[in-house]
Structure 1
Amino acid sequence: MKKRRAAAAARALAAGAFLMILPAGARAETPQTEDEKYRRAIDAAVDAGLEYLARVQLPDGSFPGMPMCNAVAALSVMAFLAKGHTPGHPPYGDNINRAIDFVLSTQQPDGTLIGPGGGQMYSHNIACLMLSEVSGMVDAARQERIRTVLSRALQVTLAAQKVQKPEAHRGGWRYAPNSGDSDLSHSGWAMMALRSARNAGMPVPREAVDDAVAFIKRCACPDGGFAYQPGGGSGLARAGVGLLCLELSGEHRSEMAARTAAYILQRIRQGWGGEIFYYGSYYCAQGMFQYGGREWEECAPLIYDTLLKLQAPDGSWNPMPGSPHEDGPGPAYRTAVAILALGVTYQQLPIYQR
């Protein structure tokens, strides 16, 4: 954590020094990016959302909507971290620690991180991702527990990838550790968890990440979108998954990434919703931000405007009409994911740093 804080401080000092040497006129004439234009509104929305999450957190560290679901707790921790809040430090340090402890408590005898609320490999890999991201930010006792729990959990993820599968599905994941096929959605979370764990110093074979990327590429469609499974039809949310995974795996602005960015921008221009709106917003925002350039500048206000309008007076996020699958997880889930989408430019979570 000291290294991460030092790096953040160095970036801030460098930025400040740069501004000091610029003539006043040059600073005033610099055109604002779309992110800068929305910064005040996004900051206010994110702060209200975090206040909501802190207010509704249950005594055991979980969140309402899907009681005992560790994925919602893990996403909420990442939402707090995204704004620069850290474990053990006010104003939300206690909330973060309680959510971390809850996620740690959900490890099963076989190593899976699946709470009584279910969620199968979704919950498992989202929990792995959060624990990898928060590693190094916590006190010594929690750090030791995170390393122990995460080490066992990663073995489950790696073993699930090695289950015998058809060639087209090799390298991916699905609902259960012993699934004999793979899908893009589960594989996206798993790949990010492995990459984050590797960045945190956990023993993750490079081959595992490479095989995951190869599977994700097999889900690419000719129109630039991505399919749920190889050979299927394309979709916007899945395109976001594909683009983010490409960008995080060394495929920055590659030919495949360029096709996908163009696909996402075209679909979002047309207006979007669908049954997994918040999930799609999260992935499209993260993927397009990583891709950057003109495409992100054009996409950003479309995502920001839509999400900002959906925030409720209590700080939570309302359901998107036509998105029934996200009613079940509840407002805490929607709020955490909306914050991660809106806070994409904060660059606080290591996994999402450019």
Structure 2
Amino acid sequence: MSRQQILKVQLLVGIMSLCHLRFEVHGQDYTSADVDDSIVRAVKFLSSQQTDVGAWRTESWGESTAITSLAVMSFLAAGHVPGEGPYGEQINQGVRWVVEHQQPNGMLVHQQRSHGPMYSHGICTLMLAEVVGMMDEADEPIVRRALEKAILLILESQSIVKNDRHRGGWRYQTNSRDSDLSVTGWQVLALRAAKDIGCDVPAEAIDAAVDYVRNCAGRNDQGFGYQPGNGPTPTLTGTGITCLEVCGAHHSKEALGGAEWLAENPLRDRSSYFFYGAYYTGIGLFKIGGDVADLNHEHLVTLLLPQQDDDGGWTPRSGSERQAGRIYATSLAVLALAVEYRYLPIYQR
């Protein structure tokens, strides 16, 4: 990282701080206690929405392994663990339901009902990697076997022959011959988390994924787009930063360039895929660290807390997020707000 780039980030942090002050003037100045209370209410809401079989549902497509996995990770991020405390058995039920619906090829998608199975699969694999070390002696080997099968599927999908622009990434189908950053992000987090708990993840797979993420960086490293050559968006810039940071490319020129771009183009409550963006910008800038992380967390708080419903959940406003539903939105909101707790292994700096 050059001195010039450090100075530029510091300048833009100052700009971001001024933007944050405007948020406080027109809204409410929230405290850490308010954030804690918000997370407690959200977890209670999620608890109330679990089905009798242990799953959680989407708004439009019924029970879902991906939505169940997001809900499970929300409990973990809030400090709850399998088999203990008020939500311990619900966590166990959710994990078991996901594992029970693994397909013979390793795919973690309930009856192939997802239009983009690899997207859902990445989320589920990440959840298993985060929770496996917390399971009891009876469940741990079962979850680990499911995780290892899921990782093999991710690696096999990455090995599909693609051109230079798309090599190293993933798309919605296992045999897709192109890639996108949105699907790739979940696979990268899953591989990184699995490697951290002892799964066999070749370094070459991580390196190839990092190369693809870098291909999605904008001109002059200003943000990240959906695919190579696409313009940057706040949501996918968060994804790109997160992928690089968790894979060891800490403070790379692309990650810092993304942070610079986000300081000038921050996530807004009307941003496309807002809750997804809150999750990834929350993790990515937290891992950048320093004032950038603190100011972004405060920014997300001022965006998320006013939108929380009286029952503790969040309601997505438009598009695919509305179809995914309130469990999806609430889970991602909790995962974004709870990043500073550092309970999830993937949050560790």
SS of structure 1 residue aligned to 2:108: coil
- Residue equivalent to 2:11: none
Q: Cα distance, 1:106 vs. partner? A: 1.5
- Residue equivalent to 1:249: 247
- Among all aligned residue pairs of Structure 1 and Structure 2, give the percentage whose two residues are the same amino acid: 40
- Residue equivalent to 2:69: 74
Structure 2 residue ranges without an equivalent (≥5): 1-23
Aligned pairs (5 A) from 1:252-291? 252-268=250-266, 271-291=268-288
- Residue equivalent to 2:296: 299
Counterpart CA distance in 2 for 1:263 and 1:67 is 37
Q: In the alignment, does 2:95 pair up with 1:97?
A: no
**Poorly superposed stretches of 4+, deviation over 4 Å:** none
Please say if residues 118 and 173 of structure 2, whose CA atoms lie closer than 8 Å, have aligned partners that are also in contact.
yes
Q: Give 1:51's match in structure 2, choosing from 27, 44, 47.
A: 44
Query: Which amino acid counterpart does residue 138 of structure 2 have in structure 1?
Result: A
Q: Could you list the per-position Cα deviations for residues 256-296 of structure 1 after superposition, in whole angstroms to 9, with x for gaps in the alignment? A: 21111111121127x45223000011101111111112222
Query: Which amino acid counterpart does residue 332 of structure 2 have in structure 1?
Result: V
Please say if residues 174 and 187 of structure 1, whose CA atoms lie closer than 8 Å, have aligned partners that are also in contact.
yes
Compute the RMSD of aligned alpha carbons: 1.6
- Residue equivalent to 1:184: 181
Counterpart CA distance in 2 for 1:199 and 1:286 is 17
User: Structure 1-normalised TM-score?
Assistant: 0.86
Aligned pairs (5 A) from 1:1-354? 38-64=31-57, 65=59, 66-116=61-111, 117-118=113-114, 119-222=116-219, 224-268=222-266, 271-320=268-317, 323-354=318-349
Please say if residues 77 and 99 of structure 1, whose CA atoms lie closer than 8 Å, have aligned partners that are also in contact.
yes
Query: Which amino acid counterpart does residue 327 of structure 2 have in structure 1?
Result: A
- Residue equivalent to 1:10: none
Please say if residues 297 and 337 of structure 2, whose CA atoms lie closer than 8 Å, have aligned partners that are also in contact.
no
Q: Could you list the per-position Cα deviations for residues 88-109 of structure 1 after superposition, in whole angstroms to 9, with x for gaps in the alignment? A: 0011001100110111012112
Structure 1 residue ranges without an equivalent (≥5): 1-33
Counterpart CA distance in 2 for 1:275 and 1:325 is 9
1:136/1:298 CA distance change after superposition, 3 Å: closer
Deviates more, 1:223-232 or 1:206-215: 223-232
SS of structure 2 residue aligned to 1:170: coil
Counterpart CA distance in 1 for 2:347 and 2:264 is 24
Query: Which amino acid counterpart does residue 212 of structure 1 have in structure 2?
Result: A
Q: Cα distance, 1:115 vs. partner? A: 0.9
Counterpart CA distance in 1 for 2:146 and 2:309 is 36
Counterpart CA distance in 1 for 2:281 and 2:145 is 33
Please say if residues 281 and 341 of structure 1, whose CA atoms lie closer than 8 Å, have aligned partners that are also in contact.
yes
Deviates more, 1:139-148 or 1:63-72: 63-72
Q: Could you list the per-position Cα deviations for residues 16-49 of structure 1 after superposition, in whole angstroms to 9, with x for gaps in the alignment? A: xxxxxxxxxxxxxxxxxx9x97310111000000
Q: Could you list the per-position Cα deviations for residues 122-143 of structure 1 after superposition, in whole angstroms to 9, with x for gaps in the alignment? A: 1111111000111111112211
Please say if residues 46 and 71 of structure 2, whose CA atoms lie closer than 8 Å, have aligned partners that are also in contact.
yes
Please say if residues 173 and 186 of structure 1, whose CA atoms lie closer than 8 Å, have aligned partners that are also in contact.
yes
SS of structure 2 residue aligned to 1:226: coil
User: Structure 2-normalised TM-score?
Assistant: 0.88
Query: Which amino acid counterpart does residue 146 of structure 1 have in structure 2?
Result: V
